[in-house]
């Protein structure tokens, strides 16, 4: 349970950072230690068990500890991945985007416009690393249905503006996902996936 709590805390920090970046105009890369506090707006999250058959971060291969889906009430979605990195227990990447949609009953697609990168070297707010925001282009596909609490797989690929590539292939172990609605909000996803 400790690991699920860690990824939830990192996701909250990711959304807070993304929200801070959005409130100042176009997305920015946050590099200073001065980050203003902001309430996260996560309304739904899901944690999935299984394994990452592929997890590449800027040319390096990793295993994953856990994969989570986080939806904000303003429509931003993160597929967050806690990396199994012996050198850094705070190493988390998130494929982040807006305007995701369920194109079929068991298919959710998300255009990725930024990568959120957390590590032990990042500045901290309330003890949690604040991720750097890397403008990116990519796509995620999730096979499965949240309403049925089943996700079969997630695949994501993105390239940031400096040319670094990020890739995720996640395969479920078949166990039901942990799905939590934090607060009731209006759907922001076309063909709302939680019905």
Which pLDDT score is estimated for 43?
85
Say yes or no to pLDDT of 4 above 60: no
Which pLDDT score is estimated for 74?
85
Return mean pLDDT, the chain: 80
Helix or strand or coil: residue 2? Answer: helix
CATH code at 2-25+42-181: 2.40.160
Which pLDDT score is estimated for 181?
85
- Is the model more confident about 30 or about 40? 40
Q: Enumerate the domain spans of the chain.
A: 2-25+42-181
Give tens-digit pLDDT for 103-124: 888 999 999 999 999 999 999 8
What is the spatial distance between Cα 10 and Cα 5, in angstroms, rounded to a whole number? Answer: 9
Say yes or no to pLDDT of 24 above 80: no
**pLDDT band for position 186 (cuts 50, 70, 90):** low
- Is the model more confident about 98 or about 16? 98
Say yes or no to pLDDT of 177 above 80: yes
Give tens-digit pLDDT for 37-60: 444 578 889 999 999 999 999 999
Q: Is 81:14 a contact under the CB 8 Å cutoff?
A: no
φ, ψ for residue 128 (rounded to 5)? -110, 140
């Amino acid at each position: 349970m400790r690991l699920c709590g860690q990824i939830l805390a990192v996701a909250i920090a990711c959304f807070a950072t993304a929200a801070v970046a959005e409130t100042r105009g176009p997305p920015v890369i946050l590099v200073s230690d001065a980050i203003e506090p902001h309430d996260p707006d996560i309304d739904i999250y899901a944690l999935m068990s299984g394994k990452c058959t592929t997890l590449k971060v800027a040319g390096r291969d990793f295993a994953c500890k856990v994969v989570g889906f986080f939806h904000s009430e303003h429509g931003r979605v993160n597929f967050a991945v806690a990396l199994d990195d012996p050198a850094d227990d705070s190493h988390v990447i998130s494929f982040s985007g807006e305007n995701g949609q369920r194109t079929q009953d068991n298919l959710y697609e998300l255009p990725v416009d930024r990568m959120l990168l957390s590590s032990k070297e990042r500045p901290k707010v309330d003890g949690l690393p604040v991720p750097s925001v890397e403008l990116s282009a990519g796509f995620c596909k999730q096979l499965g249905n949240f309403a049925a609490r089943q996700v079969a797989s997630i695949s994501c690929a993105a390239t940031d503006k400096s040319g670094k590539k990020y890739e995720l292939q996640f395969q479920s172990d078949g166990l039901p996902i942990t799905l939590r609605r934090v607060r009731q909000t209006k759907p922001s996803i076309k063909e709302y996936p939680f019905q």
